[in-house]
Amino acid sequence: MATRKIVEIGDEKLRKHAKKVEKFDLRLRILLKDMADTMYKADGVGLAAPQVGILKRAVVVDVGEGLIELVNPEIVSAEGEQSGPEGCLSVPGRSGIVVRPERVTVRAQNAHGEPIEVTGEGFLARAFCHEIDHLDGIVFTDHATRMLEPNENGARNLPRRRGGGRRSGDGWGGGRRVKVVFMGTPDFSVPTLQALVDAGYEVAGVFTQPDRPKGRGGKVQMSPVKELALRLGIPVFQPLKIRADGLEPLRALAPDVCVTAAFGQILSQEVLDVPRLGTVNVHASLLPRHRGAAPVQWALLSGDAVTGVTTMFTDRGIDTGDMLLRAETPILPDDTAGTLTDRLAKMGAELLIETLRRLEAGDCPREKQDEALATYDPKVDKEMGRLDFTQTTRECVNRVRAMSPWHLGHFTWMPVVKAL
């Protein structure tokens, strides 16, 4: 279960109009699931996205008849009248008498963007009206004809949540928020860190490579991951070698799990032993093919038609750990290392969240890599920018694609032909 903080009255987000949902993707489904988890944990019967700080038109409701997810909801008809006590998770400890329709019909979309229509009567109608009000910056106190005193009969709060607890799995879940330490450095890593925050995980700290000089001027620059972490207010650690000067700070953070994505350092067994649930890595290839630090470039150099991302448990080897989930994408004719990296970074972020969710639920597959199919590719260096025109046209084109963009530029190599 992943729960989010419920914002309370006084927070300006509760008074803003939520935006229409345009993308029906994994991020939306995660939001809806987290909202439901948050609602159940707080013993509520409904929750709107603005109540967890997300200004999107989405609500969840469960008055004891099953969970209802509504995206972009609107009330299209209302009949009758009911008056009764009403409360709100964002207004703790207070309730009031509110007049609502006895019966309402709501048109909306489900988590996949499909149109739905649902009719509610009595308490369900009240819940629909209450939650949809939140999407327009309206709180029940705006409608209350009278606020109730604490000793008066307050609002009905919750029919009991359905089911038992969670599956215990291998230590994931258990009803508490998972604490994550993230390790990453380049642009590829940024979407994964952002996804962890958006999904409601507690990111206790970020480890990234030290600031280094870049460009012709040699100006010292921070990594893209550090830039994002600072904007998000997450503590940043930049050990030269994590196994030496980063071990104690990592232990102090006491993470449940570490997540890595192109961190740029090999993790020692001492580091791997710190998180109680292990370390999950996002790798930009379909393992066991293209292990190593430059899987995107080597997929292009090799003329692969398909590539993808793999989530895996990290072990002492280089990309040799047990695989968890994989996602594929075709390599397009005009793809370069730049365009392909951007696409795989977004795919990897979504796959990582799905992986963590399934690990928490106890239904994530785990598969050992087939060493017979494994390939290991070296790092990209300056010499790889050379074009050898004794190679085929396709090989030369693939090399240009694999090295683009490339801050060192391309080099041309021509064979020397001696005169007879």
Of 107, 131, 147, the residue that ends a domain is 147
Evaluate whether residue 1 is within a structural domain: no
Provide the whole-model pTM: 0.58
Q: Are 96 and 148 in contact (CB under 8 A)?
A: yes
Which stretch of 164-168, 169-173, 261-265, 300-304 has the lowest confidence by average pLDDT? 164-168
Q: Are 21 and 28 in contact (CB under 8 A)?
A: yes
**pLDDT (mean) for 175-182:** 79
**pLDDT (mean) for 83-100:** 87
C-alpha neighbours within 13 Å on the C-beta side of residue 225? 30
**pLDDT (mean) for 89-96:** 87
Tens digit of pLDDT for each residue in 227-244? 999 999 999 999 999 999
Which phi-psi region, left, alpha or beta, contains residue 409 (left: φ > 0; alpha: ψ -120 to 50)? left
270 and 143 in a common domain: no
364 and 221 in a common domain: yes
270 is catalytic: no
User: Taking 50 as the threshold, does the pLDDT of residue 170 lie above it?
Assistant: no
Evaluate whether residue 167 is within a structural domain: no
143 is catalytic: no
80 and 42 in a common domain: yes
189 and 143 in a common domain: no
Give the per-residue pLDDT at 102.
Answer: 92
**pLDDT (mean) for 123-145:** 93
199 and 296 in a common domain: yes
Evaluate whether residue 173 is within a structural domain: no
Of 147, 162, 194, the residue that ends a domain is 147
Q: What is the span of the domain harbouring residue 344?
A: 179-373
- Residue 226 CB contacts under 8 Å (≥ 6 apart), including other chains: 206, 208, 211, 236, 238
pLDDT more than 90, % of the chain: 65
85 and 126 in a common domain: yes
Q: Are 124 and 52 in contact (CB under 8 A)?
A: no
Catalytic residue among 44, 47, 129, 130: 130
Give the per-residue pLDDT at 169.
Answer: 35
3-state class (DSSP) for residue 214 = strand
Evaluate whether residue 203 is within a structural domain: yes
349 and 249 in a common domain: yes
228 is catalytic: no
Catalytic residue among 88, 250, 301, 356: 88
User: Taking 60 as the threshold, does the pLDDT of residue 379 lie above it?
Assistant: yes
Catalytic residue among 46, 184, 278, 321: 46
407 is catalytic: no
C-alpha neighbours within 13 Å on the C-beta side of residue 320? 9
More reliable by pLDDT, 412 or 355: 355
Average pLDDT, the chain: 87
Catalytic residue among 44, 51, 193, 278: 51
User: Taking 60 as the threshold, does the pLDDT of residue 277 lie above it?
Assistant: yes
C-alpha neighbours within 13 Å on the C-beta side of residue 155? 30
More reliable by pLDDT, 165 or 324: 324
386 and 368 in a common domain: no
Give the per-residue pLDDT at 150.
Answer: 61
143 and 35 in a common domain: yes
Of 92, 127, 147, the residue that ends a domain is 147
Evaluate whether residue 161 is within a structural domain: no
Q: Are 104 and 23 in contact (CB under 8 A)?
A: no
pLDDT band at 303 (very low <50, low <70, confident <90, very high): very high
- What CATH number does residue 129 fall under? 3.90.45.10
264 and 134 in a common domain: no
DSSP class of 408 = T
What's the rounded Cα separation, in Å, for the pair 271 and 246? Answer: 9
131 is catalytic: yes
Catalytic residue among 131, 350, 354, 360: 131
- Residue 299 CB contacts under 8 Å (≥ 6 apart), including other chains: 285, 290, 307, 331, 340
Catalytic residue among 70, 134, 193, 253: 134
Closest by CA position to 226, among listed 215, 242, 237: 237
69 and 121 in a common domain: yes
Beta-bridged to residue 220, according to DSSP, are 213
C-alpha neighbours within 13 Å on the C-beta side of residue 374? 15
367 and 389 in a common domain: no
- What CATH number does residue 197 fall under? 3.40.50.170
Largest CA distance in the chain: 108
User: Taking 80 as the threshold, does the pLDDT of residue 337 lie above it?
Assistant: yes
User: In the chain, how many H helices and how many E strands?
Assistant: 10, 19
Evaluate whether residue 284 is within a structural domain: yes
134 is catalytic: yes
Domain count for the chain, please give it.
3
218 is catalytic: no
Evaluate whether residue 152 is within a structural domain: no
C-alpha neighbours within 13 Å on the C-beta side of residue 38? 26
Catalytic residue among 89, 135, 287, 301: 89
Give the per-residue pLDDT at 419.
Answer: 42
Evaluate whether residue 168 is within a structural domain: no
Closest by CA position to 143, among listed 152, 154, 134: 134
pLDDT band at 224 (very low <50, low <70, confident <90, very high): very high
